[in-house]
């Protein structure tokens, strides 16, 4: 135990789910099912212990756990929750080492919830941080692998407890392709455990305090709703971002392709944006937003759709004609904007010729700036 | 060492390659590249030791090794040969046990050669037997898994030494699907190592003496060629089979689908078969032969295309208009004709409604009957 540890109870969980949904940038899976699962486990086992990265010893063993697959699938095929525990145990058995800490691979979407489920099933605490600061569609798009933590061994498991361990992979993209292929064979969703790293590696590569950030975003939204203020405006201003657009969804083009939900949506402007039009391309996550044809935000910056009135996150799989949404732009964490990171998560990694033009501001804004240890 | 051990030198290798090619029933991959690799290794390390199953202690550790993928791919992308060694080492490391013996998973085609390569690279002897008595397109179609040897753990590796271990799979078909998906991601061919079994399990489930059978088929063909007798007729009569047809290939329909070479060929009759027509469906291997529309041979019985003059095996990937071939029918080993085996390798397993009507005769015929220990 550490004086800066904090705990996730049912109330804190509500805030994290809202924040993680917004940070999911449309993908990462709706945290709703995962939240119900964690809540159920909290009722049985008590709150989840969260540990700030600074407090982790260099020699500790840290494992990232989460779910892999297209969010469209996991809506209909609810993960049992223990797939990732099976994957974790397979990895531990293979490596002959027990994990001391869990860390989310991505704070955005349902993978913010999965480590807490695994925590409550195993007793291991969860690190306050992640490797994306948002959600991304492919597993090599994370700061652990971008900054040199070996991806292998890596484990994948499914609800039938089929468990696969990659002993050696030549590069993260190879793991992405092979694990994605197995995930599809596993029915479209699976639990993963990788990488297994030292506390020193974690502290060098993690994006710190993102569990805190998600919680605070949720707190801002809930407070504003309670006080009848505008939650969209408050989130945008406090998290370092801006409102890019407000509009009504008038078209959604969507297809499943190679295990991803790909497509684009079109918005007709409302209020200040009347007579303007925004299009957003997505591959699970929102990747590029164009206002009347001009790029106004592009990956790795966060393009977040929220309900225009309540600021509830709007994920890719629930997009439909007529929804009235606000589009938030939040600058990516600095660690995702380095030249080496942009190779993995910049526009070109998604097939766009457009240059990366960063949004102004700082990831986390006032919310994270006020945090000790950030 | 055992008095009944025998050795594969360069001359014996030639015979095995011919026999294994014929037993490949069109699939299993042309043994040619594998043969060159084994010959090269024999030059460096000496002959390969072959051990009859009876001589294996019950407690010995036996591992099946081979290659997975569509033969069409491995023609153009020659396996390095050590993929299966990498897979074997991954499996040994995972299980914490060293292999004592290697066993071919399928005697038909290139997988007859791979265990000999691995033998020469590791010093482990090869069992005189296999789990198919021929070739089959899917890895769960083998007597090890049909008769209850657990398929997991199972290992797969590629030329870049990417190595994947399945720790647990719910059934062999699950492994087939997931391993096939990874093989496609690995570029279409991979080396495997599984199952790891005891000597007792081996002796209960293996089809014995099939290395000997392949060698003898090759000897018959080579002797007949040398003596200017008819190799096709001699093979058919001595191996327990029959000549089903002689004809000219007039049409080949072929497609790659889910990692398999699927299709059909059409033959116009020659000599005694003039004015008759045979069609043969294949999925890597030849599955069903129809003479003027009537089924005359069907899986699991062996439907083998050979050159009409030389009895050289004609594999699926070299089928082309104008080839003059004989079609041999060889009865499947009895262990493949039980009700439980027919569920895995009978007509229905390949999507055919046709009943299994066995060819008359005995797998191996005079050749195996004359063998001590068979």
| CB-CB neighbors (< 8 A) of B177 in chain A | 185
Flag if A165 and B165 touch (Cβ within 8 Å).
yes
Task: Please tell me the predicted confidence (pLDDT) of residue A161.
Answer: 85
Give B312-362 pLDDT, tens digit per residue: 999 888 889 999 999 999 999 999 999 999 999 999 999 899 999 999 999
Query: How distant is the Cα of B197 from the closest Cα of chain A, in angstroms?
Result: 19
Task: Please tell me the predicted confidence (pLDDT) of residue A81.
Answer: 64
The owner of tokens 């007039």 is B250
Task: Please tell me the predicted confidence (pLDDT) of residue A223.
Answer: 96
The distance of Cα A369 from the centroid of its chain, to the nearest Å, equals: 21
Q: pTM here?
A: 0.80
A373 has pLDDT over 60 = no
B81 has pLDDT over 80 = no
Average pLDDT over residues A150-154: 94
How many residue contacts between A and B have a Cβ separation below 8 Å? 73
Query: How distant is the Cα of A84 from the closest Cα of chain B, in angstroms?
Result: 14
pLDDT band at A348 (very low <50, low <70, confident <90, very high): very high
Nearest-by-Cβ selection for B162 from A165, A174, A185: A174
Query: How distant is the Cα of A174 from the closest Cα of chain B, in angstroms?
Result: 8
A301 has pLDDT over 60 = yes
3-state helix, strand, coil in chain A (%, to 5): 35, 30, 35
Give A306-322 pLDDT, tens digit per residue: 999 999 999 888 889 99
B300 has pLDDT over 90 = yes
Task: Please tell me the predicted confidence (pLDDT) of residue A28.
Answer: 80
Nearest-by-Cβ selection for B184 from A160, A174, A181: A181
For residue B137, give Cα distances in angstroms to A88, B77, B105. Answer: 33, 19, 12
For residue B275, what are the contacts with CB-CB under 8 A and spacing of at least 6? B269
For residue B8, give Cα distances in angstroms to A118, B14, B24, B234. Answer: 54, 9, 19, 23
Residue environment code for A276-298, b if the CB has 16+ CB neighbours within 10 A, otherwise e: ebbbbbbbbbbbbbbbeeeebbb
**Burial of A90 by CB count in 10 Å (0-12 exposed, 13-18 middle, 19+ buried)?**
buried
pLDDT band at A255 (very low <50, low <70, confident <90, very high): confident
Q: Copy the structure tokens of residue A302.
A: 């966060």
Q: Copy the structure tokens of residue B326.
A: 């004989």
Q: Is A230 left (phi over 0), alpha (psi -120 to 50) or beta?
A: beta
Quote the percentage of chain A above a pLDDT of 70. 94
Task: Please tell me the predicted confidence (pLDDT) of residue B76.
Answer: 47
B372 has pLDDT over 90 = no
Alpha helices in chain B (DSSP H): 10-23, 31-45, 71-76, 83-95, 114-122, 143-146, 172-185, 199-205, 210-226, 231-238, 339-345, 365-369
Average pLDDT over residues B108-123: 94
Task: Please tell me the predicted confidence (pLDDT) of residue A70.
Answer: 59
Q: Which residue has the higher pLDDT, B323 or A189?
A: B323
Query: How distant is the Cα of B354 from the closest Cα of chain A, in angstroms?
Result: 29
Flag if B186 and A178 touch (Cβ within 8 Å).
yes
B64 has pLDDT over 70 = yes
Q: Is A36 left (phi over 0), alpha (psi -120 to 50) or beta?
A: alpha
Positive or negative torsion for Cα A220, A225, A229, A231: positive
Query: How distant is the Cα of B96 from the closest Cα of chain A, in angstroms?
Result: 10
Give B146-155 pLDDT, tens digit per residue: 999 999 999 9
The distance of Cα B295 from the centroid of its chain, to the nearest Å, equals: 23
- Distance between CA atoms of residues A62 and A194, nearest Å: 9
Average pLDDT over residues B294-313: 96
Task: Please tell me the predicted confidence (pLDDT) of residue A137.
Answer: 84
Give B237-260 pLDDT, tens digit per residue: 888 999 999 999 999 998 776 656
Mean of the per-residue pLDDT values of chain A: 91
B166 has pLDDT over 90 = yes
Flag if B182 and A186 touch (Cβ within 8 Å).
no
- Distance between CA atoms of residues A286 and A299, nearest Å: 8
Average pLDDT over residues A103-130: 95
Average pLDDT over residues A70-92: 71
Nearest-by-Cβ selection for B167 from A90, A160, A184: A90
A371 has pLDDT over 80 = no
Task: Please tell me the predicted confidence (pLDDT) of residue B258.
Answer: 61
ipTM of this complex: 0.71
CB B182 within 8 A of CB A181: yes
Task: Please tell me the predicted confidence (pLDDT) of residue B1.
Answer: 64
Flag if B90 and A167 touch (Cβ within 8 Å).
yes
pLDDT band at B223 (very low <50, low <70, confident <90, very high): very high
Nearest-by-Cβ selection for B160 from A160, A166, A170: A170
| CB-CB neighbors (< 8 A) of B182 in chain A | 178, 181-182
Task: Please tell me the predicted confidence (pLDDT) of residue B30.
Answer: 80
A75 has pLDDT over 50 = no
Give B184-193 pLDDT, tens digit per residue: 888 888 999 9
Task: Please tell me the predicted confidence (pLDDT) of residue A219.
Answer: 97
Flag if B181 and A186 touch (Cβ within 8 Å).
no
Task: Please tell me the predicted confidence (pLDDT) of residue A19.
Answer: 96
Nearest-by-Cβ selection for B167 from A165, A168, A170: A165
């Amino acid at each position: 135990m550490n004086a800066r540890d904090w705990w996730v109870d049912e109330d804190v969980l509500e805030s994290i789910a809202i924040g993680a949904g917004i940070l999911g940038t449309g993908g990462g899976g709706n945290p709703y099912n995962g939240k119900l699962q964690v809540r159920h486990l909290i009722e049985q086992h008590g709150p989840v212990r969260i540990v700030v990265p600074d407090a982790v010893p260099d020699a500790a063993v840290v494992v990232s756990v989460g779910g892999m697959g297209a969010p469209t699938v996991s809506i209909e095929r609810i993960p049992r929750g223990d797939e990732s525990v099976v994957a974790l145990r397979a990895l531990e058995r293979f490596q002959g080492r027990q994990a001391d800490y869990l860390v989310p691979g991505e704070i955005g979407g349902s993978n913010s919830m999965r480590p807490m489920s695994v925590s409550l099933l195993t007793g291991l605490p969860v690190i306050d941080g992640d490797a994306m600061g948002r959600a991304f569609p492919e597993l090599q798009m994370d700061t652990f692998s971008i900054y040199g933590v070996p991806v292998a061994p890596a484990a994948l498991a499914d609800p039938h407890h089929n468990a696969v361990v990659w002993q050696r992979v030549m590069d993260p993209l190879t793991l992405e392709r092979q694990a994605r292929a197995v995930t599809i064979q596993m029915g479209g969703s699976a639990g993963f455990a990788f990488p297994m790293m030292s506390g020193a590696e974690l502290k060098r590569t993690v994006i710190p305090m993102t569990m805190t950030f998600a919680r605070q975003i949720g707190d801002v939204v809930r407070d504003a709703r309670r006080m009848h203020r505008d939650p969209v405006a408050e989130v945008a201003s406090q998290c370092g971002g801006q409102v890019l657009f407000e509009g009504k969804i008038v078209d959604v083009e969507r297809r499943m392709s190679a295990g991803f939900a790909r497509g684009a949506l079109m918005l007709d402007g409302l209020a200040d944006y009347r007579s303007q039009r925004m299009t957003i391309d997505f591959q699970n996550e929102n990747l590029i937003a164009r206002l009347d044809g001009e790029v106004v935000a592009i990956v790795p910056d966060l393009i977040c759709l929220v309900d225009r009135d309540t600021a509830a996150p709007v994920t890719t799989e629930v997009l439909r004609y007529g929804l009235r949404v606000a589009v938030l732009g939040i600058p990516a964490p600095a660690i995702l904007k380095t030249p080496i990171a942009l190779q993995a998560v910049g526009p070109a990694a998604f097939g766009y010729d457009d240059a990366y033009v960063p949004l102004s501001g700082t990831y986390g804004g006032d919310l994270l700036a006020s945090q000790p240890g950030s």
